Amino acid sequence: MGTERNVLVTGGNRGIGRAIAEEFLAAGHRVAVTARSGEGPAGALTVRADVTDAASLDAAFTAVEAEYGPVEVVVANAGITRDTLLLRMSEDDFTEVIDTNLTGAFRTVKRASKGMLKARFGRIILISSVVGLYGSAGQVNYSASKAALVGMARSLTRELGGRGITANVVAPGFIETDMTAALPDEQQAQYKASIPAGRFASPSEVARVVTWIAGDDAGYISGAVIPVDGGLGMGH
Ligand SMILES: NC(=O)c1ccc[n+]([C@@H]2O[C@H](COP(=O)([O-])OP(=O)(O)OC[C@H]3O[C@@H](n4cnc5c(N)ncnc54)[C@H](OP(=O)(O)O)[C@@H]3O)[C@@H](O)[C@H]2O)c1
């Protein structure tokens, strides 16, 4: 394995975040997850945090730093959907999604950057979505929040790139988690028909890309958008 790192994943109690935590653990890293409820996988340190609350994130980072030392790899994964068509979308539907998916990533990265700047090393990974650049009817709020993460990673790259810090976006397509299980069967079938791979992916297929981009072999990759979508978003 490569260098052992201190890793923090937001929303690591279930879904893709949990799979990411498991993959880092399997590769021998020290892993912490934030959770609003429940626990991360065995072997990970679980700390309570809500990404819409900067103070709770600050306390979570402080607890992780006390246990492991500075966070070297941060994965901003926590996210929500509030899908509905534009004319039915309330301002709350819009701002709640932005507050969690976009401002939540900003709060997480800002707090993580303190230790990374001091260490002159860091790996920032933002979990976006294929719909950020592809677009999706009924997801004006969600796709806007996910597209914005691309601008964030690229600005972070320009601002922090000279300090040994990389910032990349991983853009999953259709992954089998609670988030997608909530979609109607008809919509799931439509998606499947439009994915060149002809199938959905497991969370671990995203997780293995995240651990690779955080690893020693990926130190010269920054500001990239890495699709894990079976070809769905090609060219976007
Ligand atoms: N599934 C997909 O097909 C897919 C595709 C593209 C991108 N993504 C992205 O991948 C990420 C993970 O998605 P998933 O499918 O694993 O979703 P999920 O199964 O619904 O899990 C979402 C995770 O985010 C956490 N979370 C939500 N709001 C939070 C908040 N305010 N503060 C702290 N944690 C919060 C949840 O915590 P609680 O358990 O406490 O609610 C949970 O751990 C999201 O950013 C999502 O947009 C998913």
**Per-residue tens of pLDDT for the chain, all 236 residues:** 699 999 999 999 999 999 999 999 999 999 999 999 999 999 999 999 999 999 999 999 999 999 999 999 999 999 999 999 999 999 999 999 999 999 999 999 999 999 999 999 999 999 999 999 999 999 999 999 999 999 999 999 999 999 999 999 999 999 999 988 888 899 889 889 999 999 999 999 999 999 999 999 999 999 999 999 999 999 89
Q: Which domains does the chain have, with CATH numbers?
A: 6-228 (3.40.50.720)
Confidence (pLDDT) at 1: 62
**18 Rama sector, left if φ>0, alpha if ψ -120 to 50, beta otherwise:** alpha
Q: Please tell me the predicted confidence (pLDDT) of residue 179.
A: 86
Active-site positions read: 142
Nearest CA to ligand 1 atom 46: 79
97 Cα–ligand 1 center, Å: 11
> HSE of 35 in the Cβ direction (CA atoms, 13 Å)?
19
Cβ burial 111-132 (10 Å sphere, 16+ → b, else e): bbbebbeebebbbbbbbbbbbb
Looking at 38-90, which runs of residues are DSSP E strands? 45-48, 73-76
Pocket test for ligand 1, best of 51, 53, 77 (most atoms within 8 A of CB): 77
If you search the block for the tokens 């892993």, which residue do you land on?
31
Distance 102 CA to ligand 1 centre (A): 12
| pLDDT at res. 101 | 99
User: For ligand 1, atom 41, which residue shows the shortest CA distance?
Assistant: 36
Return the structure tokens found at 130: 């294929």
pTM beyond 0.95: the answer is yes
